[in-house]
Structure 1
C-alpha cells in the first residue's frame, strides 16, 4: 500500500490521519467535561477582562521550560528518571490554568516510517497520561508524533528517542500568536 509513497508523503498522510482522529475525540465531550466546562467569554466580557501584558506572558512561558524526556530503544515506557521533571511540569501547569502544552514524540532512524510514527505517538501519549494522572486537565495537553523526521542529533540516536514540550497560553492560541 505504501510502496509508491515517499517518506514525506507518508508522514503527511499519517499526520492527517492522526489529526482527524484527534478532532473526533475532541468533539465527544463527556458529561463530566460538560459539568466543569466554563462558558467562553462574551464580547462584553472580553472588554472588561484584564489582558496580560507581554511581560506577564513571557514570564508565564519562561516558567514552563522543560527538558526533553529520553526513552530507551523501542520503548514508550517512561524512564524512572523522567518522573521528577514531569512532576515539575505538572505542578507548573496546574498553577497556570491558561497554559497548554503539546507533547511531541520522536524516534531515532531505526525502524520503518510507519513504526516510528506509531512509536513517537505512544511516547507522547505516555507522557500525556502521566501528566493527566498528576492532575493536569486532559484538554490542555495535545500530542503529536514526528517519528524520525526531526532528529535532535543525527550522529547520536539516543538523543532522538525523546518527547519534547512546547507551551502556549490560551490567549496566545486564540489570538493566533503561537
Structure 2
C-alpha cells in the first residue's frame, strides 16, 4: 500500500514536471530551444559557450545540494516531502548516463546491529527503486547500509534519532 502511494506520488511529480516542460499554443511564439543541449542537470565539468550556462550549472548544483532523505521510525517509506530530492537526482542521472551515485542507508541507535543493517539497506533500496522508477538505470546506482554505525547526531532522544534515520545520496 505504501509502495503504491510512493509510486503514485513519484508518477504525479514526473507528470507535473513533464507537463510544465510541454510547450503550449503557437510554436512560432515560443522561445526556440538552444542549438546545443543545455539541461540544468548535464555534466557541469565543461565550460559552456552559451549565455546562461553558468546560471544553469548553479541551479543544478543547488538542486543536487540536498542529498538527504529522512525516514520515520522503523520505516523505509519515502515521505512525500522528499520526492523533490529524488526527482532532482533522477533528472541529473538520466541526463548524464555515465554519472553514478552511491546511496547510503542509516538508522538510529535503537534495535540490534543486524536489524539496523537490514533497515538501512531497505531505506537505501527504497531510494534506488524511486530513482529507477523515474528512468535511472540500476547500473548507475550502488547501495550500502551502515545501520547505526555512522550517526550524524549524538544523543539518545528523538531530536538526535530523527537526524540519523536517513538515506544519503553521494555522487561518485
Same fold (TM over 0.5): yes
Separation in structure 2 between the aligned mates of residue 87 and residue 142 of structure 1, nearest angstrom: 17
> Which residue is 1:91 aligned to?
91
> Which residue is 2:131 aligned to?
131
Alpha-carbon shift at residue 154 of structure 1 (Å): 1.1
> Which residue is 2:170 aligned to?
166
Q: RMSD of aligned C-alpha atoms?
A: 2.2
Alpha-carbon shift at residue 55 of structure 1 (Å): 4.8
Alpha-carbon shift at residue 127 of structure 1 (Å): 0.3
Residues 6-155 of structure 1: pairs in structure 2 closer than 5 A: 55-56=45-46, 62=61, 64-155=64-155
Separation in structure 2 between the aligned mates of residue 135 and residue 109 of structure 1, nearest angstrom: 34
Normalised by the length of structure 1, the TM-score is 0.59
How many positions carry a matched residue from both structures?
Answer: 114
User: What 5-or-longer segments of structure 1 have no aligned partner?
Assistant: 1-53, 169-178
Separation in structure 1 between the aligned mates of residue 153 and residue 46 of structure 2, nearest angstrom: 33
User: What 5-or-longer segments of structure 2 have no aligned partner?
Assistant: 1-43, 48-56
Separation in structure 2 between the aligned mates of residue 77 and residue 137 of structure 1, nearest angstrom: 21
8 Å Cα contact 1:66/1:89 also seen in 2: no
> Which residue is 2:11 aligned to?
none
Separation in structure 1 between the aligned mates of residue 113 and residue 164 of structure 2, nearest angstrom: 14
Separation in structure 1 between the aligned mates of residue 45 and residue 136 of structure 2, nearest angstrom: 25
